[in-house]
Chains A and B, each alone.
Chain A
Amino acid sequence: EILMTQSPATLSVSPGERATLSCRASQSLSSNLAWYQQKPGQAPRLLIYGASTRTTGIPARFSGSGSGTEFTLTISSLQSEDSAVYYCHQYSHWPPSMYTFGQGTKVEIK
């Protein structure tokens, strides 16, 4: 099983500041990594796939980078509505039973 480790567990950032979230994989994923945002009481929402491609409708302040085993989600200028839990998700190694999520990073507004 590929282990996905996200850090930090909780991130407290002031509005307008940059938030940097990390996701590390126990094996190389190439670029087969996605990021999701989940607000309380809501379903997860896809932000980024292919490690760095923003999906339709996601603001440009969200960006993804990395490949191999180290990945980063950056929120360039944090807005109040960005308060949520963010999950990384690897889909690199077939079959689907091998796909795994990180444990999540909670982003709080300071």
Chain B
Amino acid sequence: EVQLVESGGGLVQPGGSLRLSCAASGFTFSNYPMNWVRQAPGKGLEWVSAISAISGSGESTYYADSVKGRFTISRDNSKNTLYLQMNSLRAEDTAVYYCAKEGSTWYYDYWGQGTLVTVSS
């Protein structure tokens, strides 16, 4: 059974940092691209970042314009864990952050339960 379990959310002041983790199990983690998707309170879904599966040329990373230069996605395939380092946080980053596994193409076939990040003074 595929499981994705996020952690690391919490309350942080504007300008602060947090690192989110997503522990994966039930599939060969290194073989699949992984994503972070967020949802602001009462709002819709917004893609945040993606990281490719491991390949001969290394890993590729992608970011939404709204987080580029502030957030860094990474993965540790030895620990089956996905990360999102979030720096220079803003009030508009307040959201539930979900990690999501990609399916055979680029849709998301499994999602974690989410972790809430609140940016407020």
| A contacts, CB < 8 Å to B | 32, 34, 36, 42-46, 49-50, 55, 87, 89, 91, 95-97, 99-104
Q: Given B35, B50, B112, which contacts A43 in the complex, CB threshold below 8 Å? A: B112
> Quick check: B47 and A49 within 8 Å, CB to CB?
no
In whole Å, how far is A91's beta carbon from the nearest beta carbon of chain B? Answer: 4
Partner of A101, one of B46, B62, B63, B110: B46
The 8 A-B pairs of least Cβ separation, nearest first, read: A91-B106, A34-B107, A43-B111, A96-B50, A49-B107, A101-B45, A96-B62, A103-B44
Contact with A along B21-51 (1 / 0, CB 8 A): 0000000000000010100000011110010
Residue B109 interfacial (CB < 8 Å)? yes
Q: Which residues of A contact B108 (CB under 8 A)?
A: 34, 36, 44, 46, 89
Q: Are A44 and B98 in contact (CB under 8 A)?
A: yes
A94 to B3, CA, bound (A): 27
15 contacts between A and B (CB under 8 A): A32-B105, A34-B108, A36-B45, A42-B113, A44-B108, A44-B111, A46-B108, A55-B109, A89-B108, A96-B35, A96-B62, A97-B62, A100-B47, A101-B45, A101-B46
A33 to B, closest residue via Cβ: B107
Q: Which residues of B approach A to under 8 Å, CB–CB?
A: 35, 37, 44-47, 50, 62-65, 98, 103, 105-114
B20 CB to closest chain A CB, in angstroms? Answer: 15
A89 touching B107 in the complex, CB below 8 Å, given contacts A44-B98, A97-B62: yes
Among B37, B106, B113, residue most surrounded by chain A Cβ atoms (within 10 Å) = B106
Closest residue on chain A to residue B109 by CB atoms: A46
On chain B, the residues within 8 Å of A89 by CB distance are 45, 107-108
CA distance A91 to B110 in the complex (A): 16
